[in-house]
């Protein structure tokens, strides 16, 4: 009974490692963020191979049922993984914010440049880049866009 | 001396023209920049039609990010002083010149326009005043300095603080928190009395529902800031990065 379960868990864990490894290979998951999953899988394999360690440790900690000890560890790991994600999200948040700011200032500088070029009568290709008019949530704006075009045509 | 007015605007089509014209007539020695935080109303179109100096953010990213974008602009274009004036027309531009002359004379790092020194003009609701008192107390506890109006958005800063804010600025509701941070870093803050008006159109970013979140978040942020910004050092933000781009 025990051996069957052990084999099942080992197979499943190996499958998970191969699956995640394949995802990393295909660049779906960044290796940096997959490391924590590999760590979990690795520890699971060790515990699976040597179940006595769990019993000894739960004896040592004074936990009556070894399964509770597993629960505790599992929960700890989930918290650890979530924690690393919180750090990742915060980091990304800051970087995205800075990117948005830099893009908006670049956009401003390009506008200024185009205005200056227009004064010098140098022709540049016009594109419509203003994102505020685009996207599904700004459907109302489509009308404004055509109005914009009209006023632009009138001006020229 | 180049001075910049930063006007963060989100859905302020009803107020923006009044605000900008107020600055143009009452504070002629200031340049201004509108930071349009991806408004869903006609703010952008209005600004373009009026040929205002406007920076459009490509995605909505909150008042803090918009104001920080203004400070980044001030840093890049080499402004000596920057002042924030909200796009909702609450702030009176007539005080800006006075603030600038005090800034230049007394050389402090930040000058706050306070509603509660002479208690004139729009005084905010009762509950908000309690909240503002609470933040004043927090600041007094952590820094030993009295700031009567820590939530005032009308704040003028010098070059070093512009550099600091361009790097480090909270995402939302930044005012009380940054006051503590600056004081902890050894910058000086002063206040002068100003009058503010009640907003005419649109809604405040702090609705009733959000007040609780606001109080909680800002209190926590103040405590964090008060416990110590060991990561930052004042010297890092002395003006050495950009000499300012040629405009």
Q: Which residues of A touch B73 (CB under 8 A)?
A: 105, 108
Q: What domain range is A99 assigned to?
A: 2-123
Closest to B15 measured CA to CA, from B215, B194, B167, B200: B200
Touching check for A130 and chain B: CB below 8 Å? Answer: yes
CA B200 remoteness from chain centre: 19
Mutation target to probe the B interface, by most B beta carbons within 10 A, among A114, A132, A143 is A132
Find the mean pLDDT for residues A10-18. Answer: 94
* A104 touching chain B per CB within 8 A: yes
Residue A74 lies in a domain: yes
- Average pLDDT, integer, range A105-133: 78
Interface residue A134 vs chain B (CB under 8 A):
no
Domain membership flag for residue A32? yes
Provide, as residue numbers in chain B, all residues whose Cβ is less than 8 Å from the Cβ of A131.
38, 56, 58-59
pLDDT value, residue A34: 87
In this prediction, residue B234 carries a pLDDT of 66
pLDDT at A149 over 60: no
The closest alpha carbon to B189, from B229, B137, B146, belongs to B146
Of all residues in chain B, the one with the smallest CA distance to A102 is B69
Kindly list the residues from chain A whose CB atom is less than 8 angstroms away from the CB atom of residue B57: 100-101, 104
A94/chain B closest Cα distance in angstroms = 9
Contact B58 A144 (CB under 8 A): no
Residue B230 CB neighbours (<10 A): 7
The pLDDT value recorded for residue B128 is: 82
Q: How far is it, in rounded angstroms, from Cα A112 to Cα B222?
A: 39
Count of other CB atoms within 10 angstroms of residue B24: 14
| A and B: number of Cβ contacts within 8 A | 57
Could you write out the three-class secondary structure of chain B?
CCEEEEEEECCCCCCHHHHHHHHHHHCCCEEEEEEECCCCCCHHHHHHHCCCCEEECCCCCHHHHHHHHHHHHHHHCCCCEEEECCCCCCECCHHHHHHHHHHHHHCCCEEEEECCCCCCCCCCCHHHHHHHHHHHHHHHHHHCCCCCCCCCCCEEECHHHHHHHHHCCCCCCCHHHHHHHHHHHCCCEEEEECCECCCCCCCCCCCHHHHHHHHHHHHHHHHHHHHCCCCCCHHHHCCCCCCCCCC
**pLDDT score at B200:** 62
Residue B87, φ and ψ in degrees, nearest 5: -75, 0
CATH of domain B3-237: 3.90.550.10
**Given CB atoms, is A152 within the 8 Å cutoff of chain B?**
no
List, for residues B196-221, the tens digit of each pLDDT value: 877 665 556 566 777 888 888 888 88
In angstroms, what separates the C-alpha of A25 from chain B's closest C-alpha?
33
Residue A138: pLDDT above 50? no
Which is more confidently placed, B119 or A77? Answer: A77
Q: What is the pLDDT of residue A153?
A: 52
Task: Give the pLDDT band (50/70/90) at residue A86.
Answer: very high
Which residues of B are less than 8 Å from A102 in CB distance?
A: 72
pTM higher than the cut 0.80: no
Q: What are phi and psi of A114, to 5 degrees?
A: -65, -40
Greater model confidence, A48 or A19: A19
- State which residues of chain B have pLDDT below 50: 241-247
CB–CB contact A132 B39 (8 Å): yes
How much is the average pLDDT of A65-89?
87
The reply to whether A90 touches chain B by the CB within 8 Å rule is: no
| Number of folded domains that form chain A | 1
Chain B residue closest in CA terms to A137: B40
Could you tell me which of B80, B19, B81 has the C-alpha nearest to residue B53?
Answer: B19
Q: What are phi and psi of B4, to 5 degrees?
A: -125, 140
* Residue A154: inside a domain: no
Contact at 8 Å (CB) between B52 and B20? yes
Instruction: Assess if residue A20 is contained within a domain.
Output: yes
Q: Is A113 on the interface with B (CB under 8 A)?
A: no
Q: Are B38 and A132 in contact (CB under 8 A)?
A: yes
Token pair 């208690």 is at which residue?
Answer: B119
From chain B, pick out residues whose CB is under 8 angstroms from the CB of A104. 35, 55-58, 69
Asked whether the beta carbons of B134 and B214 are under 8 A apart, the reply is: no
CA atoms of B151 and B106, how far apart (whole Å): 23
Contact yes or no for B57 and A100 at CB 8 A? yes
Residues of chain B contacting A132 with CB distance shorter than 8 Å: 36, 38-40, 44, 56, 58
Are B57 and A101 within 8 A, CB to CB?
yes
- The distance of B124 to chain A (nearest Cα, Å) reads 31
């Amino acid at each position: 009974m025990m051996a069957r379960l052990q084999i099942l868990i080992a197979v499943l864990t190996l499958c998970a490692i191969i699956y995640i490894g394949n995802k990393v290979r295909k660049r779906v998951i960044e290796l940096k963020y997959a490391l924590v999953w590999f760590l979990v899988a690795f520890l699971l394999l060790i515990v699976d191979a040597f179940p006595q360690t769990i019993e000894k440790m739960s004896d040592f900690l004074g936990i009556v049922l070894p399964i509770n000890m597993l629960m505790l560890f599992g929960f700890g790991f989930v918290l650890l993984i979530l924690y690393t994600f919180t750090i990742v999200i915060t980091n990304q948040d800051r970087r995205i914010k800075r990117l948005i700011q830099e893009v908006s200032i670049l956009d401003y500088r390009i506008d200024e440049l185009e205005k200056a070029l227009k004064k010098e009568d140098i022709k540049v290709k016009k594109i419509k880049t203003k994102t505020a008019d685009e996207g599904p949530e700004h459907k109302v704006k489509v009308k404004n866009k055509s109005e914009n075009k009209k006023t632009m045509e009138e001006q020229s | 001396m180049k001075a910049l007015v930063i006007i963060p605007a989100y859905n302020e089509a009803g107020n923006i023209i009044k605000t900008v014209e107020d600055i143009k007539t009452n504070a002629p020695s200031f340049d201004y920049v509108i930071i349009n935080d991806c408004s869903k109303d006609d703010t952008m179109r209005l600004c373009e039609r009026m040929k205002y100096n406007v920076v459009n953010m490509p995605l909505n990213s909150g008042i803090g990010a918009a104001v920080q974008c203004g400070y980044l602009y001030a840093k890049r274009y080499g402004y000596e002083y920057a002042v924030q004036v909200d796009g909702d027309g609450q702030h009176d531009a007539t005080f800006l010149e006075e603030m600038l002359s005090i800034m230049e004379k007394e050389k402090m790092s930040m000058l706050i326009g306070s509603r509660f020194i002479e208690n004139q003009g729009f005084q905010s609701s009762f509950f908000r005043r309690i909240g503002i008192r609470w933040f004043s107390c927090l600041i007094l506890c952590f820094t030993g300095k009295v700031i009567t109006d820590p939530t005032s958005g009308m704040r003028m800063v010098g070059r070093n603080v512009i550099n600091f804010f361009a790097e480090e600025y909270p995402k939302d509701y930044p005012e009380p928190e940054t006051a503590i941070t600056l004081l902890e870093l050894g910058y000086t803050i002063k206040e002068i009395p100003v009058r503010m008006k009640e907003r005419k159109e649109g809604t405040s970013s702090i609705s009733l529902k959000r007040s609780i979140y606001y109080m909680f978040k800002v209190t926590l942020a103040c405590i964090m800031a008060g416990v110590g910004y060991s990561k930052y050092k004042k010297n890092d933000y002395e003006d050495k990065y950009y000499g300012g781009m040629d405009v």
